[in-house]
Amino acid sequence: MKQPKEKAYTIPMHKLIDRTQAGIEVRYINRRKAGSGDRLITPHRDDHFLFVFQESGKSKLFIDFEAITLHGCALICILPGQVHYNISMEKVWGWLVSLSPHLVSPGSQTIFEEQIQANLPILLSSRVAAGIKACLRLLYEQLSYSPSGVNNSVVPPLAGAFAEMTAVQYADIQSRNYIQRPQAARITSRFKALLIQQFRTLKAPAQYAKALNYSLSHLNESVKSTTGQPVSHWIQHQVLLEARRLLYYSELNVSEIAETLGYEDQAYFTRLFTKKAGVPPLAFRKKFRG
């Protein structure tokens, strides 16, 4: 199989390591101080988890082809790789928290990956919001004492606690068996991490099972038990999501996009996209670009 084209990556990637060595960044948002230079203004993707905790106000984000509005006290998690940008803010106070994946437990990562397909924000009660705010204030203070955070032993557990508190808001962990089936959650997390890295070259479930040193049946059972969908579903989902991103944000033609995603046969890629998206690639581009 021909290797994907390097020149095709037109969507900027923001890397957390470029801003901090600690794997965590906490920023306080005050709309009166926000300006056009805010990092969320232009379309981009991150190599880390981004949490938006809005204490009050109204803001609108664009995440993977959906306009998401946060009213009042709300929380949303943006996954690594999701294309997003800020549309508007109205009297917003809150926090932006960037976390490297190694600070987020496998169980929490699985919850985020499973629950965020709809990109729905979580409305918070005053009690839950107070707990999250207290945790973030501690994190913010610890990072202000030691800006690099590298030698501060308090920072990683606080960051992990914040991620766990957020995950609980997205799903009832016990009812979804993330505690009862921790091994399945870890396997699913490993699979999805590999999928994000290799979906352009690995297309078959058996290839992922081999790369992760699991039998195909064990991998498929673990992924389906924690997400409700088999391995093949997530492979196609990731490929088609990236195809939609490139159709919307880049000027690449269909042949170039197919090659970028690891398909030598443009006709096959077009049939696959049309079957799953409901419209041919160029019709999708025209529909969303207007």
Q: List the domains of the chain with CATH numbers.
A: 6-170 (2.60.120.280), 182-289 (1.10.10.60)
Q: Average pLDDT of the chain?
A: 85
Higher-confidence position of 30 and 54: 54
Provide long-range contacts, Cβ within 8 A and 24+ apart, for 102-105. 102/23, 103/23, 103/24, 103/156, 103/159, 103/160, 103/163, 104/49, 104/160, 104/163, 105/160, 105/163, 105/164, 105/167
In this prediction, residue 193 carries a pLDDT of 84
From its phi and psi, is residue 265 left (phi > 0), alpha (psi between -120 and 50) or beta?
beta
Q: What is the pLDDT of residues 174-226, one digit of tens each?
A: 454 455 567 888 898 889 889 988 999 999 999 999 999 999 999 999 999 88
Rounded distance between C-alpha atoms, residue 259 and residue 265, angstroms: 8
Beta strands at 13-14 and 122-123: parallel, antiparallel or unpaired: unpaired
Q: What type of residue sits at position 99?
A: L
Cβ contact 53:70 at 8 Å: no
Q: For 112-169, how does the pLDDT look when each residue is reduced to its tens digit (9 = 90+)?
A: 876 655 567 888 999 999 999 999 999 999 888 776 656 678 888 999 999 999 988 8
Cβ-contact 156, 103 below 8 angstroms: yes
| Rounded distance between C-alpha atoms, residue 276 and residue 52, angstroms | 31
pLDDT for residue 285 is more than 80: yes
pLDDT of residue 5: 47
**What is the Cα–Cα distance from 70 to 58, expressed in whole angstroms?**
6
Of 1-5, 62-66, 97-101, the least confident? 1-5
